[in-house]
Amino acid sequence: MEIKKLTRLSMLLALSVILGLLENMIPFFSGIIPGLKLGLANIVVLFVLYTFSSKDAFFLSILRVILMGLISTGLFSIRFFLSLGGALLSFVVMALSKKYTKLSVIGTSVLGSIAHSVGQILVAILLIKQGLMIYYLPWLLLFSIPTGIVVGYMSKYFIDYFEKRLKINF
Amino acid sequence: MNKQDGILIFILIILSLLGMAFFYLSEKDGPKKAVVYYEDQVVLEIDLTQKEEKTYQVEGFNGMVTIESKDGKVKVASENSPLHLCSKQGYISSSYETIVCLPNKIVVAIEANDSLDAVAK
């Protein structure tokens, strides 16, 4: 891998971890529904998906979960597996959406945000062998839509800024 | 945002509202009980027709979980977990509400109370 690209991806990875930590300090969202959050780190994943490649976005996403595990949630804790499930499903859905649909960054972000919730619920159901958590799903779906739109618009701003105004080709 | 995004968002809003409507409408009237699960095992049943406040304790994955019932509502009063999400959730009283304590592997659900002489185990 080219050194320039490696450096840029590493800085983006660090940025996504910082955004994740910052988000943990906002207790507002998880007060509405357990597990709900804005998903600021997804800005970086979307950015890498649209300006680098889906492979880079995949590794960034997984490494982010592992780093977050080391720094805040604890490796192989319940929250670690929840994040991992959410991140994996969200990545798969966003990569497919970018490749096969005509959705813009915003639509892809909304799908990613929903996939993150669904992934988390699936992992939670597997972890404690209890299907009753499905009651959270409509609420998480409904709240994932505005958070997905906000994250999508922010990602769109950064992608346009770097591609058009700075003329940087990653 | 393009046209496809708009259509997608519209469909998703309708789907989530339909999901909520389904859960609300599937609630049955009549006496209810709170069922406490540890993983998929029932560890405690609380008759919610009783008015007075009662406290129960069940063994969770991280220690004891205290559950309180009062006026047909039930809540997790205290438990040992990193974020205390389930004790912050407060009282629930409808069958489409659940309290999930993931770190303790405890789920509190509301179900219809079929047997009239159900007693807290």
The pLDDT tens digits of the residues spanning A24-36 come to 887 766 666 766 7
Tokens at A36, concatenated: 């709900």
Residues B8 and B56 reside in one and the same domain: no
Distance to chain B for A3, nearest Cα, Å: 35
Over residues B20-38, mean pLDDT: 86
Model confidence pTM above 0.95: no
Q: How far apart are CA B107 and CA A135, in angstroms?
A: 12
Count of CA atoms in the C-beta half-sphere (13 A) of B100: 22
Percent of chain B with pLDDT over 70: 94
CATH classification of the domain holding A125: 1.10.1760.20
Question: Looking at the predicted structure, is the pLDDT value of residue A5 above 60?
Answer: yes
Average pLDDT, chain B: 85
Identify any residues that bridge with A105 across adjacent strands, giving them in sequence order.
Answer: none
Query: Are residue B97 and residue B70 in the same domain, yes or no?
Result: yes
Residues paired with residue B57 on neighbouring β-strands, in sequence order: B66
Domain check: are B59 and B14 in the same one? no
Q: Could you list the residue range(s) of the whole structural domain that residue B16 is in? A: 1-29
ipTM: 0.84
Q: Hey, are the CB atoms on B2 and A142 less than 8 Å from each other?
A: no
How would residue B121 be classed by pLDDT, with cut points 50, 70 and 90? Answer: very low
**Hey, what are A26's tokens?**
């906002």
Residue A104 clears pLDDT 90, i.e. is over it: yes
One domain for residues B25 and B77: no
Q: Do B23 and B41 belong together in one domain?
A: no
Give pLDDT, residue A157. 93
Same domain, B40 and B25: no
B35 and B17 within one domain: no
Total domains, chain A: 1
pLDDT for the residue numbered A131: 79
* Number of domains into which chain B is organized: 2
Higher per-residue confidence, A72 vs A93: A93
How much is the pLDDT for A34? Answer: 67
Mark which residues 97-116 of A lie under 8 Å from B by CB: 101-104, 106-107, 110-111, 114
Q: Are residues B20 and B38 in the same domain?
A: no
Angstroms from B88 CA to nearest CA on chain A: 8
Beta strands in chain B (DSSP E): 32-38, 41-47, 54-60, 63-70, 73-78, 98-101, 106-112
Q: Is residue A170 situated within a structural domain?
A: no
Residue A16 included in any domain:
yes
Q: How far apart are CA B95 and CA B91, in angstroms?
A: 12
CA distance A95 to A48: 11
pLDDT for residue A168: 61
For residues A153 and B9, what is the distance between their CA atoms, to the nearest angstrom? 14
Whether residue B102 and residue A124 make contact (CB cut-off 8 A), yes or no, is yes
Nearest to A124 by CA among B100, B10, B116: B100
Instruction: Give the domain range for residue A78.
Output: 3-165
Is A20 part of any domain?
A: yes
- State the first-to-last Cα distance of chain A, in angstroms, to the nearest integer: 12
Closest Cβ–Cβ partner in B9, B40, B86 for A129:
B40
Q: What is the pLDDT of residues A109-151, one digit of tens each?
A: 999 999 999 998 899 889 887 777 788 888 888 889 999 999 9
B38 and B94 belong to one structural domain: yes
What per-residue confidence (pLDDT) applies to A30? 63
> Hey, is the C-beta of A133 within 8 angstroms of any chain B C-beta?
yes
Q: What average pLDDT does the structure give for chain A?
A: 89
Look at the block and give the residue holding tokens 């649209």: A50
- Report the half-sphere exposure of B24 (CA within 13 A, side-chain side): 8
Does residue A66 contact residue A73 with C-beta atoms inside 8 Å?
Answer: no
